C-alpha cells in the first residue's frame, strides 16, 4: 500500500512555468491523483466518435472520423458550456483512406499510420492532398495500433485478435501473436514491449515485439481501453483509460512478467473511456464518450463541463504529470514515441517544454479505498 508524502516547491510558480497564464480547467474526473493535472482539451467532438489521435509537426491534435482527419488548434480558441477549448481549425479529407476504423499513430518516419477495414494504411500530414497508401491487405476492426521504438508499426487485424508488425524499412509484415479476445487498443514501451487491451474479457496482455508472451492480467476490475506506458522513473508502469470513467496505473516494480501494484489515478468521470494517445507534450490524451452502461459507464454521461453541466457530448481530456515524478528526476510521466521525420517531413516533431525540468518531486498519494493485489 502506498503512503507517500506530497512535496513541491513554489507550487503556483511551478504550475505557471509549465502551463503558462491559463484559465482554470474543467474537472472531468472528480478525483485525480495529485501528481497529475487535467484539462478538457477538445470537444464536443464533431462526430462523437473521433477516437484515434495523432499530431502534426506543429503539435496540433488530429483525430480521425472515417476517411477525414480533424485538426484542432494548439491554443485555446473557443469555448463550450463555459469551458475553454482547443477548437477545430481544419478538416482534411484523405483520398483513398478507408472509412472504417479509428486507430492511428504517428510513425517515426513522419507518416501517420491507420488500421482500417482494408488493411494498414498511411498518409502524409505534410501534404493533405496526397492519397493514402495501402501497405497491407489484412484489415480489421481498426482499433489497436502503435509505433515501436525501432520504427516498426504494431497493429491488430483479422478478427481484431491478431497482432501484426509492419516494418516500413524492409517492407515486411508479420503475424506475431493471436489473443483470445478482441484487442481494443495497444501501446509500446521504450524497450519494445507491447501491451494489449482485451475488450472481451477485461484483460491486459504483455508481449515482446517478437510475439513472445510475457504476462496476462485477467478479470480486471475495470475494462481497459486506451493504453500507454510510463516514462522515466515510471517506465515500468502501464496506464489504461477505462470504459467506466477511470484511469488505472499498473506498476510493475519487478518487471512486466510479475504481478503489478494496481491503483486508480483518476475516478469519477462517469463517461465511457475509449482510445487514448500520448502527445508531443508528454501528456496522456484520453477520449470520453457516452455509451450507455457498457462496461460500467454511466448512461447519459460524456463530459462534465465547466459550467456544472454534464451531458452526453464527447470530448478529449488531457492528463499531464504535474511534476518530475517520484525521486525528483525529470520525466514526462508518459512515454512519447521518438519521431525522426526522415521522410516525408523535415525537422523535429516536437520541442519539449522546459518547465518540466524545473519542477521538484511530487510524490503521489493513493486515493483512500483503492485496492492493491
Residue 365 has pLDDT above 60, yes or no: no
Going by C-beta distance under 8 Å and a sequence separation of 6 or more, which residues neighbour residue 11?
none
Residue 7 has pLDDT above 70, yes or no: no
What CATH number is associated with residue 187? 2.120.10.30
Quote the pLDDT of residue 338.
57
Side-chain half-sphere exposure of 149, counting CA atoms within 13 A:
13
pLDDT-derived band at 371, boundaries 50, 70, 90: very low
Task: Specify the 3-state DSSP secondary structure of 296.
Answer: helix
Q: How many CB atoms neighbour CB 73 within 10 A?
A: 16
Residue 158 has pLDDT above 70, yes or no: yes
For every residue of 81-147, DSSP letters joined together read TTEEE--EEEEEE-TT--SS---EEE-TTS-EEEEETTEEEEE-TT-TTSPPEE--S---SS--EEE
Strand order in the sheet with 104-106: 104-106, 112-116, 119-123, 133-134
**Predicted confidence (pLDDT) per residue in 68-119, tens digit:** 999 999 999 999 999 999 999 999 999 999 999 999 999 999 999 999 999 9
Query: Looking at the 3D structure of the chain, how many domains does it have?
Result: 1
Quote the pLDDT of residue 286.
97
The distance of Cα 345 from the centroid of its chain, to the nearest Å, equals 23
- Three cell numbers written together for 134: 495501402
The Cα–Cα gap between 278 and 105 comes to 10
**Predicted confidence (pLDDT) per residue in 18-43, tens digit:** 333 344 456 899 999 998 999 999 99
Whether residue 3 is contained in a domain is answered as no
- Three cell numbers written together for 201: 474479457
Whether residue 6 is contained in a domain is answered as no
Whether residue 104 is contained in a domain is answered as yes
Task: Specify the 3-state DSSP secondary structure of 176.
Answer: strand
Quote the pLDDT of residue 71.
97
The Cα–Cα gap between 329 and 326 comes to 7
Quote the pLDDT of residue 360.
27
Decide if 1 contacts 366 (C-beta within 8 A). Answer: yes
For every residue of 203-253, DSSP letters joined together read EEEEE-TT--EEEEE-S-SS-EEEEEEB-GGGTTEEEEEETTS-EEEEE-T
- Mean per-residue pLDDT, 286-305: 96
Decide if 146 contacts 237 (C-beta within 8 A). Answer: no
Quote the pLDDT of residue 361.
32
pTM, entire model? 0.84
Quote the pLDDT of residue 368.
32
pLDDT-derived band at 348, boundaries 50, 70, 90: very low
Q: Domain residues for 188?
A: 11-358
Whether residue 218 is contained in a domain is answered as yes
Whether residue 65 is contained in a domain is answered as yes
Whether residue 257 is contained in a domain is answered as yes
Whether residue 367 is contained in a domain is answered as no
Whether residue 368 is contained in a domain is answered as no
Amino acid at each position: 500500500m502506498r503512503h507517500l508524502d506530497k512535496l513541491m516547491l513554489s507550487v503556483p510558480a511551478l504550475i505557471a512555468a509549465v502551463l503558462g497564464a491559463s484559465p482554470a480547467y474543467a474537472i472531468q474526473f472528480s478525483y485525480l491523483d495529485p501528481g497529475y493535472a487535467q484539462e478538457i482539451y477538445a470537444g464536443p467532438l464533431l462526430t462523437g466518435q473521433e477516437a484515434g489521435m495523432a499530431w502534426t509537426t506543429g503539435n496540433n491534435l488530429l483525430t480521425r472520423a472515417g476517411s477525414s482527419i480533424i485538426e484542432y488548434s494548439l491554443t485555446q480558441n473557443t469555448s463550450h458550456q463555459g469551458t475553454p477549448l482547443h477548437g477545430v481549425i481544419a478538416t482534411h479529407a484523405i483520398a483513398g483512406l478507408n472509412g472504417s476504423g479509428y486507430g492511428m499513430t504517428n510513425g517515426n518516419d513522419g507518416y501517420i499510420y491507420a488500421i482500417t477495414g482494408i488493411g494498414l494504411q498511411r498518409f502524409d500530414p505534410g501534404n493533405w492532398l496526397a492519397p493514402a497508401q495501402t501497405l497491407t491487405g489484412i484489415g480489421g476492426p481498426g482499433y489497436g495500433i502503435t509505433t515501436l521504438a525501432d520504427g516498426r508499426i504494431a497493429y491488430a487485424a483479422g478478427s481484431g485478435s491478431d497482432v501484426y508488425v509492419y516494418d516500413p524499412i524492409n517492407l515486411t509484415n508479420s503475424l506475431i501473436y493471436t489473443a483470445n479476445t478482441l484487442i481494443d487498443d495497444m501501446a509500446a514501451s521504450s524497450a519494445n514491449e507491447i501491451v494489449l487491451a482485451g475488450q472481451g474479457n477485461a484483460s491486459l496482455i504483455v508481449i515482446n515485439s517478437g510475439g513472445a508472451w510475457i504476462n496476462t492480467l485477467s478479470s480486471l476490475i475495470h475494462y481497459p481501453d486506451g493504453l500507454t506506458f510510463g516514462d522515466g522513473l515510471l517506465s515500468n508502469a502501464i496506464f489504461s483509460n477505462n470504459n467506466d470513467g477511470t484511469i488505472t496505473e499498473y506498476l510493475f516494480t519487478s518487471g512486466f512478467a510479475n504481478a503489478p501494484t494496481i491503483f486508480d489515478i483518476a475516478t469519477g468521470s462517469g463517461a465511457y473511456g475509449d482510445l487514448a494517445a500520448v502527445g508531443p507534450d508528454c501528456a496522456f490524451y484520453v477520449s470520453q464518450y457516452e455509451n450507455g452502461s457498457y462496461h460500467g459507464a454511466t448512461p447519459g454521461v460524456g463530459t462534465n463541463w465547466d459550467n456544472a453541466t454534464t451531458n452526453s457530448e464527447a470530448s478529449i481530456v488531457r492528463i499531464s504529470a504535474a511534476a518530475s515524478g517520484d525521486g525528483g528526476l525529470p520525466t514526462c510521466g508518459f512515454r512519447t514515441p521518438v519521431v525522426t521525420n526522415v521522410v516525408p517531413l523535415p525537422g523535429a516533431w516536437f520541442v519539449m517544454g522546459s518547465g518540466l525540468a524545473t519542477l521538484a518531486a511530487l510524490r503521489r498519494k493513493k486515493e483512500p479505498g483503492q485496492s492493491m493485489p
